[in-house]
Amino acid sequence: MRAVNFLSASLLILMIVACGDSSKPSIVSVTADSPGTNTLQDKSAAIKVAFVMKSLTNPFFVEMAKGARLAQQETGIDLQIKTATPETSVEQQIRIIDGQIKAHVNAIVISPVDITQLVPVLKRAQDAGIKIVNIDERLHPDALAANRMKPVPFVGVDSEQAAYLAARFIADQVKLPTEAAIIEGIPGTNTAMDRKRGVERAFGQNSKLRVVATGVANWKADEAYELARSLFKAHPKIGVVYCANDMMAIGLIKYLQESGRTKVLVGGFDALDQARDAIRAGQMAATVDQRADRQGYLGVVNALKLIRAEAVPDVVLIDTALVTADTLN
């Protein structure tokens, strides 16, 4: 885990919104280097927490799992990490949650593949007395209300604002009329939609930039590679491409290298090691570090607090960091 000592620092809360109005959700903003707390170290192996993710083939989720494991080490809980296969399988996540209900776990921490279809099975879990914490991809509030779920705490980032800042960094470098493209993640997810909105807002603030194409690559490098082939065939003058995650940016960069296109500005999201290397090599302009390990860590910490009937914020937003060549040097 990158240069973070969770055990030696204390949780720093920068901002609490609507703390004086119980009718509004409580929102806590957490600094990039803030850990959890050492007050949870009771070494209670009897507490069972299921940590349900989309994948362990994507390095982003590997980092998220590391954070969850750190929380396990600090608290002594029984943590089971479960993932869907493939990453987009709603049915697999539903079966996983059903299995955890039968296993009588105390809490489920979930990064959902789908923000609406997972809600009914999570309602069954909640009715069985299982505490639910939502991380990374926020469950749809209308679906939660329709299923009459009790409040579900969320731990994540402001994806729209983070994508906006990265895309604005790229847009500010464009001084001549330039065509741009956006490569999106899984359609219909909040994360994909938020990041696209952030990029569109940033690109729209530079009159020299014109978005001529968008496409979906489902967060995957191989799909982004194939999509890039068709995008550049239709629009060979594209000079800027923003990818909604680094895996797709890596697939795009592979195509650019193979096709000899060396002057395309590329943006990403996640700050994977491969993306950092690409920035150092001048193949990528910017990415966003959204602290995947912190999301996993605080997801487990908040689950344990719920089990102990302690109050937790409705929303915990973790600070992101813009990663560029300047920040890496």
Q: Residue 202 is encoded by which pair of tokens?
A: 């940033």
User: Tokens 């000592």 sit at which residue?
Assistant: 5
Angle subtended by helix axes 273-280 and 246-259, to nearest 10: 40
Q: What is the DSSP letter of 324?
A: -
Are both 141 and 195 inside the same structural domain? no
pLDDT, residue 28, reads: 65
Full DSSP string of 40-72 = G----TT-EEEEEES-SSSHHHHHHHHHHHHHH
In a domain, 314, yes or no: yes
Q: Residue 253 is part of a domain; what is its CATH number? A: 3.40.50.2300
Angle subtended by helix axes 119-127 and 90-102, to nearest 10: 10
Mind listing the pLDDT tens digit of every residue in the chain (329 residues)?
Answer: 444 344 333 333 333 333 444 444 566 655 544 444 444 444 455 899 999 998 888 899 999 999 999 999 999 999 999 997 766 689 999 999 999 999 999 999 999 989 999 999 999 999 999 999 999 999 999 999 999 999 999 999 999 999 999 999 999 999 999 999 999 998 888 899 999 999 999 999 999 999 999 999 999 999 999 999 999 999 999 999 999 999 999 999 999 999 999 999 999 999 999 999 999 999 999 999 999 999 999 999 999 999 999 999 999 999 999 999 999 97
Q: Residue 189 is encoded by which pair of tokens?
A: 């997810």
Q: What are phi and psi of 62, to 5 degrees?
A: -65, -45
In a domain, 327, yes or no: no
Are both 237 and 305 inside the same structural domain? no
Are both 61 and 103 inside the same structural domain? yes
Number of domains in the chain: 2
Which range marks the domain in which residue 227 is found?
159-289
In a domain, 235, yes or no: yes
Question: Under a CB-based contact definition with an 8 Å cutoff, are residues 321 and 157 in contact?
Answer: no
Which of 84, 101, 100 minimizes the C-alpha distance to 137? 84
Amino acid (1-letter code) at residue 170: I
In a domain, 8, yes or no: no
pLDDT, residue 3, reads: 40
Are both 298 and 150 inside the same structural domain? yes
Full DSSP string of 132-158 = EEEESSPPPHHHHHHTTPPP--EEE--
In a domain, 191, yes or no: yes
Amino acid (1-letter code) at residue 267: G
Question: What is the enclosing helix (H) or strand (E) of 211?
Answer: strand 209-216
In a domain, 74, yes or no: yes
CA distance 151 to 144: 8
Residues forming a β-bridge with 135: 155
Q: Residue 286 is encoded by which pair of tokens?
A: 């910017």
Are both 37 and 123 inside the same structural domain? yes
Are both 227 and 309 inside the same structural domain? no
In a domain, 4, yes or no: no
CA distance 110 to 50: 8
Are both 217 and 151 inside the same structural domain? no
In a domain, 308, yes or no: yes
Are both 284 and 300 inside the same structural domain? no
Q: Residue 13 is encoded by which pair of tokens?
A: 């809360």
Are both 257 and 268 inside the same structural domain? yes
Helices (H), the chain: 59-75, 90-102, 119-127, 141-146, 159-171, 190-204, 221-234, 246-259, 273-280, 292-307, 325-328
Are both 62 and 192 inside the same structural domain? no
Are both 61 and 108 inside the same structural domain? yes
Are both 197 and 80 inside the same structural domain? no
